[in-house]
Chain A
Amino acid sequence: MTQLRAERVTHYFGGLCAVSDFNLELERGALMGIIGPNGAGKTTVFNIITGVYRATEGSIYFDGDEIIGKTPDRIVAMGISRTFQNIRLFNELSVLDNIRIAHYAGSRYNPFEALLRIGRYKAEERRIREHSYELLALFNMDVLASTTARNLPYGQQRRLEIVRALATGPSLLLLDEPAAGMNPREVDQLTDFIRWIRRTFNLTIILIEHQMRLAMAVCERLMVLDFGAVIAEGPPKVIQTHPLVLEAYLGEKVPV
């Protein structure tokens, strides 16, 4: 069953075409990678899917509903969540609050109940709190609940971003360069980690990678972007030897 479908998505920044004629058909439960050189438009695709940018042309359907034109918070509430290439935690806030904030759309009390501490306020706050602790415990981070996010070590910050994204209750998770800044050993661990969260949370995952290593190891299908256009698509094995991909990454072959 198709979960995400993009049709002829095109986006311009002024005169620059950042994404051109992007099409995608994603099955529920798939694990797909988008790779490509720097500036190929990978993050722009994420920004369009999550509503940060409004695509100049084209449409995207998520579970059958058009999402272009919707605000990011509504798209998240529908079940698309993401992480960021350069970590964007709420730095001055505690780990627990980073997670609790991701429960915003899921909370069921209104402003009056909050201001006067009446009605559903107490029960809902307890639920959010407990759910946050459960999630943190699952990732062995519950002991860090009251630590300020900025004081976490780099690896933990990356992990917290993923936990925070999961706290919104997504069915589709977009990971933007999760391996950035990791050494080869950590990248290998990340491979298992990504498979594990897909299984545990029953997710569809799209992964952006700049380096091939992780993408080749974990993804079932790869899409290669270059200068905003899809130049190749298919299973990792095919992509690995695809002439256009080699050209994009290594430059044109010099005739000998």
Chain B
Amino acid sequence: MIYLLQQALNALQLGSIYALIALGYTMVYGILSMINFAHGDFFMVGAFLCFIVATFMQLPFLPALLISMAGVALLGVIVERVAYKPLRQAPRVSAIITALGVGIFLENFTLALSPYPKHVPTIIENTTISLGGLTMSSLQTIIIVLSIVMMTVLHFIVQHTKVGMAMRAISWDKNVAPLMGVPVNHIISITFALGSGLGGVAGMLYSMAYPVIDPYMGIIVGWKAFISAVVGGIGNIRGAMLGGYILGSVEVLVAAFLPSTYRDFVAFSLLLVLLIFRPYGIFGKPRTQKV
């Protein structure tokens, strides 16, 4: 029983990170119908920003968090303006390739600057609390609580603010929204800022939990998060959160029974099966093509 609870806690930690990243994928997809393949690398940049502020400026947790978040948010907005915006009317394949290109650019750029993996210094003293055999580290608590707070805030923004309403309007109909006075470019920038910012937070939290970071770390984690978004139904915010926790649990489960080298294999097979049989996920709706 304790063992199960302990595993559930681990699943919750991993799932929180996946969910935070998945939100970025799903928000951009919801609004632009485009998969931002570079998002996993935004996450990586978040981790590296955390490394920089922690190593060179010795900043404490909160400022470090804000810098990671703001830095990656800015990166997202710039990438959208420079690389994605000119392609909004272009064939979708162009946008996909551009996003892949941006992602690999970020990876190789970081690699050229930092050829060796980096070790992120401890930002928060990690103390463990024991509750009747169940151990819970302060880090774990921060990751889980902070993720849930962030997601709640995001949910509030999307559902109960004017900006959120504009986002939903654009995702409903990109062509009509501007006619109703929605400033589309502005809202898309905000969406990218929010989605990327959450990715940055995830990068920082991840690098605190697994402190050895390298430029390619965003590929696998990013894809796992993407799977989460698809599981929940891409474009759907609640779906992305739930998908993150589902995938986290699946991975913890697989790790408990199979050698760890099978973890990716299982995750990607899950994605493949899902895409074939239920491509629109748990909350998503199938789209019909008009003839």
Q: Is the CB of B291 within 8 A of A52?
A: yes
Q: Is the CB of A43 within 8 A of B291?
A: yes
> Least Cβ distance of B284 to chain A in Å?
14
CA distance A52 to B289 in the complex (A): 10
Q: Is the CB of B291 within 8 A of A47?
A: yes
CA distance A52 to B288 in the complex (A): 11
By a CB distance below 8 angstroms, the chain A residues around B291 are 43, 47, 52, 84
Q: Does A13 contact B (CB under 8 A)?
A: yes
By a CB distance below 8 angstroms, the chain B residues around A84 are 291
By a CB distance below 8 angstroms, the chain B residues around A52 are 291
CA distance A43 to B291 in the complex (A): 8
Residues of chain A in range 27-50 having any CB-CB distance to chain B below 8 Å? 43, 47
CA distance A18 to B291 in the complex (A): 14
| Interface class of chain B by DSSP | loop
Residue of B nearest to A176 (CB): B291
The number of chain A residues with a CB under 8 A from chain B is 5
By a CB distance below 8 angstroms, the chain A residues around B288 are 13
As a 0/1 sequence over residues 43 to 62 of chain A, the CB contacts with chain B under 8 angstroms (1 = contact) are 10001000010000000000
CA distance A52 to B291 in the complex (A): 8
> Least Cβ distance of B105 to chain A in Å?
31
By a CB distance below 8 angstroms, the chain B residues around A13 are 288
CA distance A47 to B291 in the complex (A): 8
CA distance A13 to B288 in the complex (A): 9
CA distance A52 to B290 in the complex (A): 10
> Least Cβ distance of B273 to chain A in Å?
24
As a 0/1 sequence over residues 268 to 291 of chain B, the CB contacts with chain A under 8 angstroms (1 = contact) are 000000000000000000001001
> Least Cβ distance of B51 to chain A in Å?
49
Residue of A nearest to B285 (CB): A14
By a CB distance below 8 angstroms, the chain B residues around A47 are 291
CA distance A253 to B57 in the complex (A): 81
> Least Cβ distance of A144 to chain B in Å?
27
> Least Cβ distance of B288 to chain A in Å?
7
As a 0/1 sequence over residues 156 to 198 of chain B, the CB contacts with chain A under 8 angstroms (1 = contact) are 0000000000000000000000000000000000000000000
> Least Cβ distance of B63 to chain A in Å?
50
> Least Cβ distance of A47 to chain B in Å?
5
By a CB distance below 8 angstroms, the chain B residues around A43 are 291
> Least Cβ distance of A210 to chain B in Å?
16
Residue of B nearest to A50 (CB): B291
As a 0/1 sequence over residues 244 to 288 of chain B, the CB contacts with chain A under 8 angstroms (1 = contact) are 000000000000000000000000000000000000000000001
> Least Cβ distance of A2 to chain B in Å?
27
CA distance A84 to B291 in the complex (A): 8
> Least Cβ distance of B116 to chain A in Å?
49
5 A-B residue contacts at CB 8 Å?
A13-B288, A43-B291, A47-B291, A52-B291, A84-B291
Binding site for A on B (CB under 8 A): 288, 291
Binding site for B on A (CB under 8 A): 13, 43, 47, 52, 84
The 5 closest A-B pairs by CB, nearest first: A52-B291, A47-B291, A13-B288, A43-B291, A84-B291
